[in-house]
Structure 1
């Protein structure tokens, strides 16, 4: 099986057009990962790292912002120019799909072929910029609040200057990621936005393996992970992957029978086929939309360290 996979991978690079698309996609992803290390101006990196270290110790990585950090490929944890990731674009796309189903003018536009698609895509871009502006402004306000960070001063020079710079920087980063994803869609291989999200999540694998090694090494001084717990974790991981794949690929086949008809003196037709209906028609869209809906009130609640909103944020956080 591994030999067949390697043979197929080798064959991909033998075809010039496919090879160029793969190399172009890898180059775009390399640019994305490079941007994840460009910091946002005005941020105290030492204090920011200390805060996230405290947060991981107290919540076990279950905080809402840990989820956002995962989807941004670790960019939010470093407060880089790509901190917002592609989530504003995805949220805008989902909102446009919902509006297309309820607004007659948009529904009519969606049926106008390629021209209508380009117009809806233009509206999606405008929505992306609007969402990025709002989210980046709230992030700037969040960063300026020392009480949110346990008394740590994350911003070197708080004020409207920092807020304006942060809004422009983070919004520009999201727009650039949107452009990179569209370039992959046009000239590369696969769905550009999905590949960017996947690359961000995979980038956290070395850190996860390092922490796993600390949990398994008796010389690390960390609390040890029991062998039974490790086996159960691996078992459930494999089970989740298999079940997710089965649901994603599962389909119900509706049989269709074509009637026989006479053409001249010969009878033709009478064949049977089927209509494949996917079990999970929404795919990942429903999960991403639910994540966006949950994270928005949690982000608002983070501005009030005390009170019912903070309890609500703790309740919807994983872990």
Structure 2
């Protein structure tokens, strides 16, 4: 570990990239504490104290508490993620976008531009809905969250939140271009990790008061390490389908005759299924916080995270979205056709349609295993909270994002180190031609 840090510090470019990334993340965290004008912060924090387990609580966790304080970055990067997912889905079903995605770098730039426009549109819609909803919120004592509601407050809130989202999107793109790692993912990572110190403090307080014993804390730490290890193992796990290429004669040379493999990850859908499933399952609790009808409250109680019905539906939605998202991102027919066009084949399988059927069978089995793994990680927090009285949301979507982003950032740092190592080998070496 120490040698790795020394190698990183010894490379000026990598040092600058890491410093730039940390600076941008610090700017983001500062913006999460700048309040939106026209809102009573104390009353709003009292209102959010009862939103745990709702959609508002989930979004607040992803924004690092910015939504709870209604800061200028309250919407965070969620509109950008929603716009990216919508564009990705449209790329599969809308032919002009599908053609655009196959045009190489220029097509990707155009889709990125459309994603930015979609982010602004979604931010305006969400900001308007949030401003309208804030005007109807009251604290426990009946005091309003917005002292002076009206059209002026709505316009100011929409402009502030939309500008904040656009700025966060720009920060993420700057990290990707000039820093280290994926900027959007690192911003979500920073928002989730920001809640860890308070969770640790709450755990220590429970230990001091005797509400939790040292044995339980040791068990939780061991379970955390085991869960992180399992996530790393499953995220790296893949099925390698062997691909052989036939020999071809091109001019006077023999081409091909090589062996390769097609890597297929167990969890191809990533963290998209639990995010979608959490959003759908938390809608009843979110609606119940605004509606006092008895039947709404009863449905909300059945769909609370502590209830068995919630966990059954939650797992079902995760499995569904795992298959759905994998199906639109990996097309076995196109992959089989590309392998055939390159002169490759799977041993024992005919090229073309039979290869596509074989890849689809392998993909279905891998997706089932990945869906079970994601479901187990996401259901774990409910067990910890209900059975062991863990005072923070451990595991689930947040833990998947933290581990995946950490692995991706570490891989990019390693890539920089390896590239620098190759450059070091070439220092002082003069390359000559055949007749030099």
- Could you state the TM-score of these two structures normalised by the residue count of structure 2? 0.64
Tell me how far apart the structure 2 counterparts of residues 193 and 310 of structure 1 sit (CA, whole Å).
Answer: 36
Q: Does 1:88 align with 2:61?
A: no
The 1:173–1:99 alpha-carbon spacing in structure 2 relative to 1, beyond 3 Å, is same
State the Cα distance separating 1:261 from its structure 2 match: 7.2
State the Cα distance separating 1:273 from its structure 2 match: 3.1
Tell me how far apart the structure 2 counterparts of residues 266 and 154 of structure 1 sit (CA, whole Å).
Answer: 77
State the Cα distance separating 1:291 from its structure 2 match: 3.9
Q: Which residue of 1 aligns with 2:34?
A: 38
Conserved 8 A contact 1:44-1:156: yes
The 1:313–1:14 alpha-carbon spacing in structure 2 relative to 1, beyond 3 Å, is farther
| Superimposed CA distance per residue, residues 232-276 of structure 1 (whole angstroms, 9 cap, x where no aligned partner) | 433332232222222211100112334567899999875533221
- Equivalent residue runs for 1:28-67 within 5 Å: 28-53=24-49, 55=50, 61-67=52-58
SS in structure 2 of the partner of residue 256 of structure 1: strand
Tell me how far apart the structure 1 counterparts of residues 2 and 244 of structure 2 sit (CA, whole Å).
Answer: 41
Q: Which residue of 2 aligns with 1:286?
A: 273
Q: 1:20 aligns with which of 16, 36, 39?
A: 16
Q: Which residue of 2 aligns with 1:183?
A: 174
Q: Which residue of 1 aligns with 2:130?
A: 139
Question: What is the total number of aligned residue pairs between the two structures?
Answer: 306
Conserved 8 A contact 1:142-1:303: no
Q: Which residue of 2 aligns with 1:247?
A: 234
The 1:125–1:262 alpha-carbon spacing in structure 2 relative to 1, beyond 3 Å, is closer
| Superimposed CA distance per residue, residues 279-307 of structure 1 (whole angstroms, 9 cap, x where no aligned partner) | 11121233334444555676556442335
| Superimposed CA distance per residue, residues 23-51 of structure 1 (whole angstroms, 9 cap, x where no aligned partner) | 11111101101101100101111222333
Coordinate RMSD, CA, aligned: 2.7
State the Cα distance separating 1:196 from its structure 2 match: 0.3
Tell me how far apart the structure 1 counterparts of residues 57 and 184 of structure 2 sit (CA, whole Å).
Answer: 20
- Equivalent residue runs for 1:191-230 within 5 Å: 191-218=182-209, 224-230=211-217
Q: 1:73 aligns with which of 47, 64, 72?
A: 64
The 1:83–1:315 alpha-carbon spacing in structure 2 relative to 1, beyond 3 Å, is farther
Q: Which residue of 2 aligns with 1:274?
A: 261
Conserved 8 A contact 2:18-2:180: yes
Tell me how far apart the structure 1 counterparts of residues 283 and 104 of structure 2 sit (CA, whole Å).
Answer: 34
Max Rg structure? 2
Conserved 8 A contact 1:302-1:313: no
Q: Which residue of 2 aligns with 1:108?
A: 99
- Equivalent residue runs for 1:145-184 within 5 Å: 145-146=136-137, 151-184=142-175
Conserved 8 A contact 2:47-2:138: no
The 1:314–1:155 alpha-carbon spacing in structure 2 relative to 1, beyond 3 Å, is farther
The 1:111–1:150 alpha-carbon spacing in structure 2 relative to 1, beyond 3 Å, is farther
Q: Which residue of 2 aligns with 1:257?
A: 244
Conserved 8 A contact 2:75-2:123: yes
Tell me how far apart the structure 2 counterparts of residues 311 and 211 of structure 1 sit (CA, whole Å).
Answer: 31
Conserved 8 A contact 2:139-2:145: no
State the Cα distance separating 1:217 from its structure 2 match: 0.5
Conserved 8 A contact 2:55-2:283: no
Structure 2: which 5+ residue stretches go unaligned? Answer: 307-436
The 1:264–1:65 alpha-carbon spacing in structure 2 relative to 1, beyond 3 Å, is closer
Tell me how far apart the structure 2 counterparts of residues 295 and 169 of structure 1 sit (CA, whole Å).
Answer: 26
Conserved 8 A contact 2:18-2:179: yes
State the Cα distance separating 1:100 from its structure 2 match: 0.4
Q: Does 1:235 align with 2:222?
A: yes
Conserved 8 A contact 1:259-1:270: yes
State the Cα distance separating 1:142 from its structure 2 match: 2.0
The 1:315–1:103 alpha-carbon spacing in structure 2 relative to 1, beyond 3 Å, is farther
Tell me how far apart the structure 1 counterparts of residues 150 and 41 of structure 2 sit (CA, whole Å).
Answer: 18
The 1:292–1:131 alpha-carbon spacing in structure 2 relative to 1, beyond 3 Å, is farther
Tell me how far apart the structure 2 counterparts of residues 133 and 298 of structure 1 sit (CA, whole Å).
Answer: 24
Tell me how far apart the structure 1 counterparts of residues 156 and 252 of structure 2 sit (CA, whole Å).
Answer: 79
